[in-house]
């Protein structure tokens, strides 16, 4: 059973300054919903309704967003405007939220290790809210797709996509053998390699299902790329034991950590989702 999903949300969002000076980047709206809410809705759709945030300074708005706002609720109760809150109310009713702080920015791997407190010894999902993943209406969300693979194999699973060679240095990149269409056993993984050193053009995107042995691996992972503790390096230790799968997900992914990706996501959501069914 996987019930928990971790959201590392401590990053600064420097690429969006000044918008992110006093506001978490995860609260940037794509049309009318903050990025992090898309991620939480995806987790819930996969049955992961115990949500854990690894936050940092200046991230209070995320916790507040998933809490009841009494003044606001009271003010608009019974009015036309109440409908605008319904989609976040639904999220709040269908999940529990807890959070802990990452006191220092020492990388994604470190953030996940800090989250051990919220997870305990069980498998869990990880969603990087910057990566907005969308699927067609009625299709499995990307996290649901990963959970299904986990249920079959009982191993950690990373979501991957093919990227142009010149872009590999933005991602964790894998070497892998395809065992079924779209499902791979990972033999090597490198965090943000140069195009010449990349083992392939299969890039990891911000969706993972991790088995709890990742925490022990993280405890023994030295700082890697950019002096940070990398989840990719910790996963490599499990991959060497044949314990990591990669899955070429079905759906669209927008890099909302970049201005271009964020604008593309906004246009897409407006045209294909919001304008058809505003909620």
State whether residue 169 is helix, strand or coil: helix
Binding residue for ligand G1P, selected from 43, 191, 256, 262, defined by CB under 6 A: 191
* Residue 204 within binding range of ligand G1P, rule CB under 6 A: yes
236 lies in the binding site for ligand G1P (CB under 6 A): no
Provide the sign of the torsion angle of the four alpha carbons 86, 55, 118, 218, taken in this order: positive
Please give the Cα distance from 101 to 103 (Å, whole number). 6
Distance CA 131, CA 161 (A): 12
Instruction: Return the residues of window 106-135 that contact ligand G1P according to CB under 6 A.
Output: 108, 128, 131
**Can you read off the two tokens belonging to residue 46?**
């996969």
Single out the segment in contact with ligand G1P by CB under 6 A; choices: 23-31, 48-56, 224-232, 265-273: 224-232
Indicate whether 172 belongs to the interface with ligand G1P (CB under 6 A).
Answer: yes
Name the nearest CA neighbour of 26 among 73, 62, 65, 53: 62
Q: Is 203 in the site for ligand G1P (CB under 6 A)?
A: yes
Q: Is there binding between residue 42 and ligand G1P (CB under 6 A)?
A: no
Closer residue to ligand G1P (CB): 88 or 207: 207
Shortest CB 257 distance to ligand G1P, Å:
6
CB nearer to ligand G1P: give 126 or 149: 126
3-state secondary structure (DSSP) of residue 52: strand
Nearest distance from C-beta of residue 210 to ligand G1P, angstroms: 13
SS3 letters across 83-137:
HHHHHHHHHHHCCEEEEEECCCCCCHHHHHHHCHHHHCCCCEEEECCCEEEECCC
Closest approach of Cβ 221 to ligand G1P, in Å? 12
Which positions lie near ligand G1P, rule CB under 6 A? Answer: 108, 128, 131, 171-172, 191, 203-206, 230-232, 257
């Amino acid at each position: 059973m996987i019930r928990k999903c971790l959201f590392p949300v401590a990053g600064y969002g420097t690429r969006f300054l000044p918008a992110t000076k006093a506001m978490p980047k995860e609260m940037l709206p794509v049309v009318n919903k903050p990025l992090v809410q898309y991620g939480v809705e995806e987790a819930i759709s996969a049955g992961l309704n115990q949500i854990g945030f690894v936050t940092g300074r200046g991230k209070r708005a995320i916790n507040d967003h998933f809490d009841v706002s009494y003044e606001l609720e009271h003010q608009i109760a019974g009015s036309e405007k109440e409908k605008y809150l319904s989609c976040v109310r639904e999220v709040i009713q269908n999940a529990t939220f807890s959070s802990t702080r990452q006191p220092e920015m020492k990388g994604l791997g470190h953030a996940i290790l800090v989250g051990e407190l919220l997870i305990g010894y069980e498998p869990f999902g990880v969603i990087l809210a910057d990566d907005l993943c969308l699927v067609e209406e009625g299709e499995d969300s990307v996290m649901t797709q990963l959970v299904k693979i986990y249920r079959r194999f009982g191993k950690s699973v990373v979501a991957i996509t093919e990227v142009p060679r010149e872009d590999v240095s933005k991602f964790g990149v894998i070497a892998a053998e395809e065992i079924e269409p779209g499902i791979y056993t990972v033999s090597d993984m490198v965090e943000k390699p140069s195009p010449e050193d990349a083992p392939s053009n299969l890039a990891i995107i911000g969706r993972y299902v991790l088995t709890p042995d990742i925490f022990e691996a993280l405890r023994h992972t030295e700082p890697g790329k950019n002096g940070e503790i990398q989840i990719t390096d910790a996963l490599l230790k499990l991959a060497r034991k044949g314990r990591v799968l990669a899955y070429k997900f079905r759906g669209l992914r927008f890099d909302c950590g970049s201005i271009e990706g964020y604008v593309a996501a906004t246009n897409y959501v407006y045209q294909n989702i919001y304008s058809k069914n505003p909620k």
